Amino acid sequence: MRPTWADIDLAAIAHNVSVFRGLVGESDLCAVVKAGAYGHGAVEVSRVAVEAGATWLGVALADEAAELRSSGIDVPILVLSEPRPAEMDGLAELAGVRPTVYSEAGIDAFATFAPAGSPVHLKLDTGLNRVGADPSDAVRLAGRIKKVGLTLEGLFTHFASADQPDDEFAGDQMAALDEALEDLSDAGLEPPSVHMANTAATLTRPNTHRSMVRVGIGLYGVEPSTALRGRCSDLGLRQALRLRTEVAHLHDVEIGEGVSYGRRWMADRRTRLATLPIGYADALTRAWWQHGQVLIGGRRRPIRGAITMDQTVVEVDDGVAVGDEAVVLGGQGDGFLAVGEMADVTGTIGYEVLATVGSRVPRRY
């Protein structure tokens, strides 16, 4: 068996849920478990999140909702984007799963298959400019929902820049949603569930909490942005992922020898190297090699040469042996490698780092 796997600390997930539960008071907490719970395992994380106080689950795909239902998870599930009309039949068969809608075609398709009175959530695009209805269409679409026999359970939007605490655009988006709510109220339509806060807004903008918050990356103990790293640390959020492997091979190179493809690192002295059976197919972004490190024996060891699809080479000393544990993300001894550190160095975000822990990396809980 390959000596590479991801340890998932479910106690850390439960702890993080409890932290957010304490922040949001009476608001519902929707645990966002799309993309396999950001690489942590959707079924396992969902069970723990619900036990710890999450009242809803959020997914991106109808198939993801079906997986949770087939595993016996029965809390309300929100599919965060409007499914294709062809998917609405299967979705309607999943009890308690709410589709997001933002078009007449989507509304009509769900109404064709769903029992009368089935709830839906109407998404408004207030400035992210990705998906959603224009706020000026809220009353028209809400009327359509009612006309075809569905129930407008929720109205929501998604922030574009809430992870930047000083960005005022979140306030503009909130105002746009509130204006749409007033228009709906004037028309005699008042959805009981209103939500807009993602992890970042949940952490920093209590006035966005409303009926429900949707917490994704924070559940996994990773900050939404570098600007919120201190806030997450102060709250005691705990990274749940620990990605580890083992030393598979040791050898020495002499002065002037190059390492890995392109010989991008050249030895300026006789150097002891360890090869690890893990690569960019397993969440090590290729760009990480230039400044990246791994933990072996509780010490940071620098990566030498370009990371390849299946293997990574690091500089070590004579105290390292074949079979020694190497930690790529997470803790070992007194050392710790955070997801955010890898994201910063490689010019990406923690979300992407987590999402690239592929299916060939087994999870252990």
Q: Where are the domains of the chain?
A: 10-235, 241-364
> Could you give the CA distance from residue 189 to residue 147 in angstroms, rounded to a whole number?
12
The pLDDT of residue 158 is above 90:
yes
Q: Give SS3 for 243.
A: strand
Instruction: Estimate the crossing angle of helix 42-52 against helix 10-24, to 10 degrees.
Output: 40
Contact 110/87 with Cβ under 8 angstroms?
no
> Could you give the CA distance from residue 313 to residue 301 in angstroms, rounded to a whole number?
10
Q: Residue 216's closest CA among 192, 242, 194, 237?
A: 237
Cα angle: 241, vertex 244, 249; to 5 degrees: 165
Instruction: Determine the pLDDT at residue 359.
Output: 87
Instruction: Determine the pLDDT at residue 224.
Output: 98
Instruction: Determine the pLDDT at residue 283.
Output: 84
Cα angle: 201, vertex 339, 218; to 5 degrees: 25
Place of tokens 């020495």: 252
**Architecture of the domain made up of 10-235:** Alpha-Beta Barrel (3.20)
The reported pTM is 0.96
Q: Could you tell me the sign of the dihedral formed by the alpha carbons of 207, 209, 214, 215, in that order? A: positive
Instruction: Determine the pLDDT at residue 285.
Output: 86
How does the average pLDDT of the chain come out, rounded?
A: 97
Q: What are phi and psi of 277, to 5 degrees?
A: -85, 65
DSSP 8-class letter at 212: E
DSSP letters for 320-355:
--TT-EEEEEEEETTEEE-HHHHHHHHTS-HHHHHH
> Could you give the CA distance from residue 60 to residue 316 in angstroms, rounded to a whole number?
42
pLDDT tens for 220-243 read: 999 999 999 999 999 999 999 999
Q: Give me the active site residues, please.
A: 34, 261
What is the greatest pairwise CA distance in the chain? 79
Task: Assign a CATH topology to domain 241-364.
Answer: Lyase, Ornithine Decarboxylase; Chain A, domain 1 (2.40.37)
pLDDT tens for 261-313 read: 999 999 999 999 999 999 999 988 888 999 999 999 999 999 999 999 999 99
Instruction: Determine the pLDDT at residue 358.
Output: 85
DSSP 8-class letter at 109: H
Alpha-carbon distances of 232 from 19, 163, 277, 306, 344, rounded to whole Å:
10, 12, 32, 32, 16
Contact 260/273 with Cβ under 8 angstroms?
no
Instruction: Determine the pLDDT at residue 175.
Output: 98
